[in-house]
Chain A
Amino acid sequence: MAAPVLRWCCPARRWILANIDRGPRHGRGAPTGSRSSGKRGQSSVAQQPLVTAQKPRKGEHQWAAVVGLEIHAQISSNSKLFSGSQVHFAAPPNSLVSFFDASLPGTLPVLNRRCVEAAVMTGLALNCHINKKSLFDRKHYFYADLPAGYQITQQRLPIAVKGSLAYSICVGKKRNQVINKTVRIKQIQLEQDSGKSLHDDLRSQTLIDLNRAGVGLLEVVLEPDMSCGEEAATAVRELQLILQALGTSQANMAEGQLRVDANISVHRPGEPLGVRTEVKNLNSARFLAKAIDYEIQRQIEELENGGEILNETRSFDYKLGCTVPMRDKEGKQDYRFIPEPNLPPLLLYDSASLPAGADPQQVINIDQLREQLPELPSVTREKLVQQYGMLPEHSLTLLNEVGLLEFFQNVMKETRAEPKKVTSWVLNTFLGFLKQQNLAVSESPVTPSALAELLNLLDQKAISSAAAKKVFEELWRSGGKTPAQIVSEKRLELMQDQEALEQLCQATMEEHPQVVMDLKKGNPRAINKLIGLVRKATLNRADPTVIKEMLEKQLSS
């Protein structure tokens, strides 16, 4: 059977805001965005080099790119959105399918309270207005893994609207300049996931797995406030962190719990927005950024060569690194939305509107959920900056790497070393080793305790920084040994014997009279040469500052 391609798409939802004047966008006071939204005008110019940097070409600075995102996050819940089937990744095919999920005639949807709570929490965390009344609709299309022939979604009146997502990107040569940005959130809607189709082209078969059919999804629609792949990828990463902090979605892109479609257009500043394309099914942050930047570049080139952009759906071929048109007729698809007649309007309450004597099992109190919100990533980062005097870009990295913050905090618990030192070791040395070997924090051979012990040795001046690096390498290579063991085995401890060190200094000066002469002639750099020589003689076990002091003392005597 031929495979009709139609997944995760809402092209029927036209980009309503894409064509309106940009004025009101700036004027609208997003809760956290007044500062950053003011910056957006500049930043989109500032972003230009990023876009064009890959292939610098004449005249490209005249183009501005506009990127919006539709993100589907699978809700982390025990059971599906409208049925009692379990939600579980990688269960045997079709083992988690209720009669409703298979759309047996006569079955009816029953809304899962947990999914509603997850949507409300996500909406609150994203500064959304929570609609106290929202509605469900049916969106019709025929597809083998959509058993009912329609998806239940929230087209007319979604559960949350008009929010904002603040994120920060690092720019500059050293990427040490943090720019705060905000993307507006148009809406968050609850909807059903579809099943999965497995196409066996060899046997012309399509196999259907309905385990995923009916799992609750949050569709988060981000307004076209981004201008390049990096911005989009960073915004998605921030959303991912928020969802994970809330526990409303595991948001693992590799497991399909977070799926992103991007709407992309380019135009000349001051002119109306260009025709947009939609790039679908971007399932990793890296491909997301790549696909968007490729698509921007492609559109610019197309237009500069006198071509035109078609309003079409494209997919990203990660092997070729380019976007290609999808061969579906989805652009012409009419989803024939109608109200879902089997679900009454979803009503939410706040403490003021809660009906007296209402059964707590039957009502959802928005205020109560607001109180239960956990600490969000932005607050965590702020705390790191406040508590440890950490640079904002360092706090960003600590949160962005899975498990790194926890690792850092565990090291902090067990060490007397300065927070700045710990940050530097975790972000440079530790993370560097992980990246080099492409490992996750959880796969690290060095435990937080080991690093803490190592930093303690360094802090006590028992070892030099250079020796500490060696110990770390050794720890990485031969897990199981403690830093102290390695230090003593490899004889890396700093020379505590002052007399011996003084003798070494003396001997070195005697061996290199020329250098001493240079120094005496007034070349202050010559002392570094001597320090280096002494350190070498101590097998790097002496503190260079101590050596310097001794040398100076001996020279002046």
Chain B
Amino acid sequence: MLGRTLREVSAALKQGQITPTELCQKCLSLIKKTKFLNAYITVSEDVALKQAEESEERYKKGYVPPYNATVVQKLLDQGALLMGKTNLDEFAMGSGSTDGVFGPVKNPWSYSKQYREKRKQKPHGENEETNWLIAGGSSGGSAAAVSAFTCFAALGSDTGGSTRNPAAHCGVVGLKPSYGLVSRHGLIPLVNSMDVPGILTRCVDDAATVLGVLAGHDCKDSTTVQDPVQSFILPSLTDVSKLCIGIPKEYLVPELSSEVQSLWSKAAKLFESEGAKVIEVSLPHTSYSIVCYLVLCTSEVASNMARFDGLEYGHRCDIKVSTEAMYAATRREGFNDVVRGRILSGNFFILKENYENYFIKAQKVRRLIANDFVNVFNSGVDVLLTPTTLSEAVPYMEFIKEDNRTRSAQGDIFTQAVNMAGLPAVSVPMALSSQGLPVGLQFIGRAFCDQQLLTVAKWFEKQVQFPVIQLQEIMGDCSSVFENDLASVSLKQ
């Protein structure tokens, strides 16, 4: 091992052939044996061992997959550059990106000029350090990365709204394609029958471009459709008079903030004023969606998480009393409370004695929810318009006052029925709230009519002219380059 090159040793460490501590001890022992060379003046044994220990912790944290997800490979095949892996809630369970092992994701808008100026007006300015806003989730890292201009597009996953929710909070476009349009091969599953790789970009056209790359049958995912995929290039809609926009009345819930509600109405009026037919529609089973999702999600989670037993990969605890004891301790240590809670309740729902009463019933409710959409679309509605979230992003300290389950139920309220039905949906930022924070609205389309959906979203995006985030303060030296960039972007628009 000691004769190898840095590169080789690094690979050995990554593959777990040797631990950092073992390697460190090998070096230390050879240093002692070769003391006569008089090469070292001081040997910092303690420091080195401590560093090795820390290094070991770091290695434990990262799982490096040996293969690329189909969506990643397709992007790479098109010459895209992969900037990194973004942060999220553990196993995508959450709606704030606050419950991951790498710590919470901070919403770039916390540091925007728009938000800070509003905050300054407040008499009792709280501590800036602790007052940052959540990014939304679970794919909050992806939304934040796109929002902060660190990349042009990011992938998320969307099981109940995990792409659209952070998109709305971070003021970017979040697209959940139709189920079956984009391969899930390589997507770590949450709820296989609802998961879809999501796309986060700063404009609708970009989302369509990425979708064009990702969409299509994948022989590695038997649930992708075999029909040839049409182009996702979006026409610039000039006339919306032939469009019928549905406003589901069940989405007007008491918890909806008045500001979001008024923006939603404004958007509806915008369509109406441009000649579109805007009608109120009913999705009568919407209110059962959250509880139905709870059962189906946790049941599949219980099943999907069974593989994380510490044998093949990932964390493994040191207990060697029995295989069962090792499983139990590994899973106790390796999963956070949220994940464990979902595994436990899911296993309860699929017990033989409960299966009929919970799982089967939830599946039936799911069918009713899906049929609600089918009925509405059959009645002539082209696209549904709804809020994406109840309100704009809240400060982290505020957010964690409620537990993950409560927050997920709130966060997914408008987004998650779409996943039950496998429909395409996109969140488009509309305007800033009175606090200077983005508010997004959601468009829901017919299954596999992603292009039509995005065309409408693009028209809407053009009408509302959502302001660009002003991050000059935190961009520091980059700001000048940044501003030039923005200028050119504005010109283009």
Contacts and interface: CB of A to CB of B under 8 A. Distances in A.
29 contacts: A1-B320, A2-B323, A3-B323, A4-B324, A102-B312, A102-B313, A103-B307, A105-B63, A106-B188, A107-B186, A108-B220, A108-B221, A108-B223, A110-B219, A110-B222, A111-B222, A138-B303, A140-B306, A140-B350, A142-B323, A142-B324, A144-B311, A149-B306, A149-B307, A149-B309, A336-B355, A338-B359, A342-B223, A343-B223
Contacts of B223: 108, 341-344
Interface stretch (B64-72, B278-286, B460-468): B64-72
Given A102-B312, A338-B300, A344 B222 contact: yes
Given A12-B352, A341-B300, A106 B309 contact: no
Nearest to A362: B226
Contacts of A4: 322-324
Contacts of A334: 351-352
Interface string A461-484: 000000000000000000000000
A142 B352 contact: no
B323 A206 contact: yes
Instruction: State the main secondary structure of chain A at its contact with B.
Output: loop
A417 to B, nearest CB: 58
A142 B306 contact: yes
A329 to B, nearest CB: 10
Contacts of B160: none
A343 B303 contact: no
Given A103-B312, A108-B185, A138-B303, A338 B220 contact: no
Contact of A106 (B69, B312, B324, B347): B69
Interface in B57-83: 63, 65-67, 69
Instruction: State the main secondary structure of chain B at its contact with A.
Output: loop
A19 interface: no
Interface residues of B, number: 45
A147 B307 contact: yes
A148 B222 contact: no
Contacts of B69: 106
B65 A105 contact: yes
Given A336-B355, A338-B300, 16 more contacts: A2-B321, A2-B324, A4-B322, A4-B323, A105-B65, A105-B189, A108-B184, A140-B302, A140-B350, A142-B324, A147-B307, A204-B320, A208-B311, A337-B350, A341-B192, A341-B300
B320 to A, nearest CB: 7
A39 B222 CA distance: 48
A109 B350 CA distance: 22
Given A107-B185, A334-B351, A140 B222 contact: no
B193 interface: yes
A63 interface: no
Interface of B: 63, 65-67, 69, 184-189, 191-193, 219-223, 226, 299-300, 302-303, 305-309, 311-313, 320-324, 326-327, 347, 350-352, 355, 359
Contact of A338 (B305, B321, B326, B350): B350
A150 interface: yes
Contact of B222 (A104, A138, A342): A342
A337 B350 CA distance: 7
Contacts of B311: 144, 147, 208
Contacts of A108: 184-185, 220-223
Q: Which of A108, A337, A338 has the most CB of B within 10 A?
A: A108
B192 A342 contact: yes
Nearest to A208: B311
Contacts of B355: 336-337
Q: Which of B299, B307, B320, B324 has the most CB of A within 10 A?
A: B307
B351 A336 contact: yes
Contacts of A104: 65-67, 312-313
A15 interface: no
A99 interface: yes
Please provide the 7 A-B residue pairs with the shortest distance between their CB atoms, ordered closest to farther: A149-B306, A341-B192, A2-B322, A341-B193, A106-B186, A336-B350, A103-B307
Contacts of A106: 65, 69, 184-189
Contacts of A206: 323
B296 to A, nearest CB: 10
Nearest to B311: A144
A124 to B, nearest CB: 25
B306 A148 contact: yes
B302 to A, nearest CB: 7
How many chain A residues sit at the interface, stated as a range, is: 35 or more
Interface string A324-352: 00000000001111100111100000000
A106 B320 CA distance: 28
Contacts of B226: 362
A99 B189 CA distance: 15
A336 B302 contact: yes
Interface of A: 1-4, 12, 99, 102-111, 138, 140, 142, 144, 147-150, 204, 206, 208, 334-338, 341-344, 362
Contacts of A336: 302-303, 347, 350-352, 355
A107 B187 CA distance: 8
Nearest to B195: A341
A64 B66 CA distance: 58
A109 B299 CA distance: 19
Contacts of B65: 104-106
B222 A343 contact: yes
Nearest to A142: B327
Contacts of A335: 352
A227 to B, nearest CB: 31
Contacts of A111: 222
Contacts of A110: 219-220, 222
B16 to A, nearest CB: 15
A362 B312 CA distance: 34
Contacts of B327: 142
Contacts of A107: 185-186
Contacts of A144: 311, 323
A151 to B, nearest CB: 11
Nearest to A336: B350
A3 B321 CA distance: 11
Q: Which of A105, A144, A150 has the most CB of B within 10 A?
A: A105
Contacts of A142: 306, 309, 323-324, 327
Given A99-B67, A140-B306, A344-B223, A1 B323 contact: yes
A343 B222 CA distance: 6
Contacts of B187: 106
B4 to A, nearest CB: 25
A104 B303 CA distance: 14
A102 B312 CA distance: 7
B97 to A, nearest CB: 19
A289 to B, nearest CB: 34
Contacts of B63: 105
A492 B312 CA distance: 71
Contact of B307 (A2, A148, A208, A342): A148
B391 to A, nearest CB: 33
A3 B324 CA distance: 9
A374 to B, nearest CB: 31
A358 to B, nearest CB: 11
B367 to A, nearest CB: 13
Contacts of A1: 320-323, 326
Nearest to B327: A142
Contacts of A337: 350, 352, 355
A4 B326 CA distance: 12
Contacts of A338: 299-300, 303, 350, 359
Nearest to B69: A106
A410 B192 CA distance: 57
A138 B347 CA distance: 13
A204 B320 CA distance: 9
A150 B303 contact: yes
A177 to B, nearest CB: 47
Contacts of B222: 108-111, 342-344
Nearest to A144: B323
Contacts of B302: 140, 336
